[in-house]
DNA sequence: AATCGAATTTAGTGTAGCCTAATTAAGAAA
DNA sequence: TTTCTTAATTAGGCTACACTAAATTCGATT
């Protein structure tokens, strides 16, 4: 089809994809913040992405953007690369889960389809990455997320961890220490409205812990 | 030290390094041809590389270039990446030896030092890549080549294959088919001056083969 | 020593993507 | 409805690296 996609363009599309998972559209400032560029640069790029044939984004001045099917296809391709790479780094090269994100964020743009295919095969076509994010299939189908932030649970509710935000290594190390990794079971014991802390009993851990929303907002769970 | 090296600069330095292995300096046209850019572009880049602090190349107008110690250090770093990656692709991901060069040529610029270190360890610090090229050590020491083209052997001489030029996948497949891979023993039976063909008996192969210089120039051997 | 062809360099442009500063539009508050 | 704040866009420039076309240098040959 095409082949003139720069790493820059791929990063813009991936970023827009991530934002539109949680909101209906991505705004100029969000994208700028996330990519570490100025809003002016984003506006320029959005106009360009909207002007390609086929267009990669749907863009209306002052209203934000969303991906066209063509743009989403590319974004999912990159997301698949990213998450397969993370899994590969952990499982085959012995990386820790807090070390993989930045490495994958670069490599996702540079591996071939052959490389993608070989690691997928070597890993046995994993469904999720080390942080619990679903991996798009070869055909770029991806499971819908139906988890909720740990923070939204009430005292007495039990749950199981689904995924953890992956961008902050510090957070990931802390979460691993706590044993709150994907698959871990827990029960909310108390909620203190003042400081918005949760008291949590984690299965297999001897003592319960108090967690602020700096953490509970970054962990996504399913209630049971 | 620095960290502002583009992939483009790394490729120029690596190319100059390769040429200066076989000649005392690299010329503008050679570099242009090898990188697929125009000579005018090369001139521009050479001036730039000579003007950095510290300078990466020694450049005199109309006389070609060679690397400074600083430039060579970077070139060797990239060569180490390249050759470790090739080994990794073959040994851990099941690539064939004719498939790895182009993949490694891209990835060499994008893996981290941590990635380099992990694959080196996983592979047991290999000395040579799949094509028989020596891999620089962590400290960037590299064995001198002391092999000669197969073409230069006389009838009656025996030898062992050291390395094979890696850039042409077609050639590599043919060479693998013949069993003339690094480590293979052989004897030169005949030389026909007219067409510059060699008749070769390869250890372990049932029949002897006639090879033109399209092949014998690309295989490097040690006589025994 | 003069000439010629190949190699190289210079001069002038183009594209991608970023920036700052100045301007405009949208939406909340008055 | 008008005003104000914030978000977004425009205008104008900059750097990296490529290209084409025109000039120059080298070194070989007369
Ligand atoms: Mn892919
Ligand atoms: Mn992840
Ligand atoms: Mn390295
Ligand atoms: Mn090789």
pLDDT tens figures, A122-132: 999 999 999 99
A123 inside 8 A of chain B by CB:
no
pLDDT the model gives residue B3: 63
pLDDT tens figures, A27-60: 999 999 999 999 999 999 999 999 999 999 999 9
C-beta separation of A221 from A163 below 8 A: no
Q: What is the mean pLDDT of residues A191-214?
A: 92
| Contact residues on chain B for A101, CB-CB shorter than 8 A | none
Q: Is pLDDT above 80 for B195?
A: yes
Distance from CA of B46 to the nearest CA of A (A): 25
Q: What is the mean pLDDT of residues A176-189?
A: 95
Q: Of A89, A110, A122, which is closest to B110 when you measure between CB atoms?
A: A110
pLDDT the model gives residue A194: 86
Q: pTM for this one?
A: 0.93
Q: Is pLDDT above 60 for A1?
A: no
User: Which nucleotide shows the minimum CA-to-C1' distance to residue B29?
Assistant: C7
Q: Is pLDDT above 60 for B1?
A: no
Q: Which has the closest alpha carbon to B133: B95, B97, B92? A: B97
Rounded to the nearest integer, the mean pLDDT of chain A is 95
- Where do the domains of chain A lie, and which CATH numbers do they carry? 7-67 (1.10.10.10), 148-223 (2.30.30.90)
CB contact under 8 A, B107 and A106: no
Q: What is the mean pLDDT of residues A168-188?
A: 95
Contacts of B142 (CB under 8 A, 6+ apart): B76, B79, B134, B135, B136
pLDDT the model gives residue B84: 98
pLDDT the model gives residue A2: 52
Cα–Cα distance between B97 and B19 in angstroms, integer?
Answer: 23
From the number of C-beta atoms within 10 Å of its C-beta (0-12, 13-18, 19+), residue B211 rates as buried
pLDDT the model gives residue B2: 52
pLDDT the model gives residue B15: 98
Q: What is the mean pLDDT of residues B76-80?
A: 98
Q: Which nucleotides of C are covered by protein (CB under 7 A)?
A: 7-12, 16-22, 25-26
pLDDT the model gives residue A174: 96
3 state SS of B59: strand
pLDDT tens figures, A101-149: 999 999 999 999 999 999 999 999 999 999 999 999 999 999 999 999 9
């Amino acid at each position: 089809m095409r082949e003139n996609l720069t790493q820059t363009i791929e990063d813009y599309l991936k970023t827009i994809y991530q934002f539109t998972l949680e909101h209906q559209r991505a705004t100029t400032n969000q994208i700028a913040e996330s990519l570490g560029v100025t809003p002016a640069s984003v506006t320029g790029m959005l106009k360009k992405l909207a002007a390609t044939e086929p267009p990669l984004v749907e863009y209306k001045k002052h209203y934000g953007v969303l991906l066209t099917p063509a743009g989403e296809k590319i974004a999912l391709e990159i997301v698949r690369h990213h998450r397969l790479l993370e899994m590969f780094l952990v499982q085959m090269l012995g990386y820790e889960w807090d070390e993989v994100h930045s490495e994958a964020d670069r490599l996702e743009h540079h591996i071939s389809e052959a490389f993608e295919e070989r690691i997928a095969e070597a890993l046995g076509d994993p469904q999720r990455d080390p942080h619990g994010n679903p991996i798009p299939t070869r055909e770029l189908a991806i499971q819908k997320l139906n988890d909720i932030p740990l923070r939204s649970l009430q005292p007495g509710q039990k749950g199981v961890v689904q995924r953890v935000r992956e961008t902050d290594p510090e957070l990931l190390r802390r979460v691993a220490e706590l044993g709150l990794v994907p698959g871990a079971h827990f029960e909310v014991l108390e909620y203190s409205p003042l400081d918005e802390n949760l008291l949590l009993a984690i299965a297999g851990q001897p003592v319960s812990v108090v967690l602020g929303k700096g953490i509970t907002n970054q962990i996504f769970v399913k209630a049971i």
